[in-house]
């Protein structure tokens, strides 16, 4: 298969971690008989430095012409970088918002995986962390409270802020279909999270999810209120597989889930549209303080590349090979500085990428 991939190295440690992900993908292509075609584009501060804007129309066109996009990181030090003296619409992160909108990326996937080898980093009690967990939170990304009408007014001398939470059934249905499709690739269990005891939008959410569920009789479905879900994530995270929820709930729950893994340097993510197309990126930031020092952890980006093979190309075997290689490197005791523990061997970004590549 020919895989046409646009890469956005971005800022900070982005170029380093994307380089290592490409190394792994090239090894996968060599072993399994694929052709990787990489095209780099500029976004964020790197684009500002060259073009004066965080994302050009030409870069968007290149992304649209690709099969998938693999991204490193965007942004710099908000206190010292000249990028943050610019108006908000000209700052690095504006490029990310622009490309999400241009590519219609409405489904955000954030895995939270506790590797047995990194269990000591988990902040939960040992009797909880010992069970391990592998959760995929699927968040609706372009609707709900964050995109509804908002205003601040003054009534009778009192300031009043209004934010509107709106979902229509089509917005809910398309993210639900994505959720069920991915649940089929995993353990065939989906937990839909809402606030249906209070919100009309959540009652519609629950109704549409139940309608979609009829088309997936092989997937077990449960509904959970968001406050209970927040508690269950720290009480018994192993009970979850795919967690499907709306924009604001997903924003909060995915951050909570990422913290119980103990290391954000291990967390991949994906944003998908209504085709197989997706943008894949690590959940961590650009870490400008360690950029260019060979200290970054490339694993989250490498795991993002694995997600890309699985969800945009349906190459589950190849994705499994990457996941297994990452696990083997951890079992063999290799660690970057952010996940280092006693008795392990500390390696840099380049060596970690090479070690994973060797185990494909």
Annotate 267-288 with DSSP letters as a single string: -EEEEE-SSS-EEEEESS---G
Dihedral of CA 118/121/124/126: which sign?
Answer: positive
Residue of 40, 181, 255, 294 with catalytic role? 255
Convert the pLDDT of each residue in 177-198 to its tens digit.
Answer: 999 999 998 999 999 999 999 9
> Is 123-261 CATH 3.40.50.11260?
no
pLDDT at 118: 85
Q: What residues contact 214, with CB distance under 8 A and at least 6 apart? A: none
Q: What is the mean pLDDT of residues 84-111?
A: 93
> Residues spanned by CATH 3.40.718.10 within the chain?
1-105+271-360, 123-261
CA–CA gap between residue 120 and residue 130 (Å, rounded): 9
Residue of 163, 227, 320, 332 with catalytic role? 227
Question: Does residue 298 surpass a pLDDT of 80?
Answer: yes
Q: Give the confidence band of 122 by pLDDT, cuts at 50, 70, 90.
A: confident
pTM beyond 0.85: yes
Q: Give the confidence band of 147 by pLDDT, cuts at 50, 70, 90.
A: confident
Residue of 251, 280, 311, 334 with catalytic role? 251
What CATH fold (topology level) applies to the domain 1-105+271-360? Answer: Isopropylmalate Dehydrogenase (3.40.718)
Question: Does residue 306 surpass a pLDDT of 80?
Answer: yes
262 phi/psi in degrees, rounded to 5: 90, -10
Residue 168 annotated to the active site: no
pLDDT at 123: 87
Residue of 40, 84, 90, 146 with catalytic role? 146
Residue 255 annotated to the active site: yes
Residue 294 annotated to the active site: no
Question: Does residue 290 surpass a pLDDT of 90?
Answer: yes
Higher pLDDT, 187 or 120: 187
Residue 195 annotated to the active site: yes
Length of the chain: 360
pLDDT at 130: 83
Convert the pLDDT of each residue in 223-265 to its tens digit.
Answer: 999 999 999 999 999 999 999 999 999 999 998 998 888 777 7
Residue 235 annotated to the active site: no
């Amino acid at each position: 298969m020919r895989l046409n991939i646009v890469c956005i190295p971005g800022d900070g440690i982005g170029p380093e971690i994307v380089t290592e992900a490409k190394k792994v993908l090239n090894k996968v292509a060599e072993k399994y008989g694929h052709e990787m075609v990489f095209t780099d584009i500029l976004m964020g501060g790197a684009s500002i430095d060259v073009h004066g804007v965080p994302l050009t129309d030409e870069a968007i066109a290149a992304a649209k012409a690709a099969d998938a996009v693999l991204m490193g990181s965007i942004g710099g030090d908000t206190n010292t970088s000249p990028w943050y003296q610019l108006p908000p619409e000209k700052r690095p992160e504006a490029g990310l918002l622009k490309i999400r909108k241009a590519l219609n990326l409405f489904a955000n996937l954030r895995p939270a995986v506790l590797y047995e080898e990194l269990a000591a980093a988990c902040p939960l009690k040992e009797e909880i962390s010992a069970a391990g967990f592998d959760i995929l939170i699927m968040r609706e990304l372009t609707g709900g409270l964050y995109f509804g009408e908002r205003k601040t007014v003054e009534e009778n001398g009192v300031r009043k802020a209004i934010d509107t939470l709106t979902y229509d059934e089509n917005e809910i249905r398309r993210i639900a279909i994505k959720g069920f499709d991915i649940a089929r690739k995993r353990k065939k269990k989906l937990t839909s999270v809402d606030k249906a005891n209070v919100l009309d939008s959540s009652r519609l959410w629950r109704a549409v999810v139940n309608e979609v569920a009829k088309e997936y009789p092989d997937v077990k479905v449960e509904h959970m209120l968001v406050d209970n879900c927040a508690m269950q994530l720290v009480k018994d995270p192993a009970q979850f597989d795919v967690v499907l929820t709306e924009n604001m709930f997903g924003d909060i729950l995915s951050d909570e889930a990422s913290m119980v893994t103990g290391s954000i340097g291990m967390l991949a993510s994906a944003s998908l549209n209504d085709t197989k197309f997706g943008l894949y990126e690590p959940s961590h930031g650009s870490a400008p303080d360690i950029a260019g020092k060979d200290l970054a952890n490339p694993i989250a980006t490498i795991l993002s590349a694995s997600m890309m093979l699985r969800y945009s190309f349906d190459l589950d075997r190849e994705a499994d090979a990457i996941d297994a290689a990452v696990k083997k490197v951890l079992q063999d005791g290799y660690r970057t500085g952010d996940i280092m523990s006693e008795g392990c061997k500390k390696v840099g970004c380049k060596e970690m990428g090479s070690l994973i590549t060797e185990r494909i």
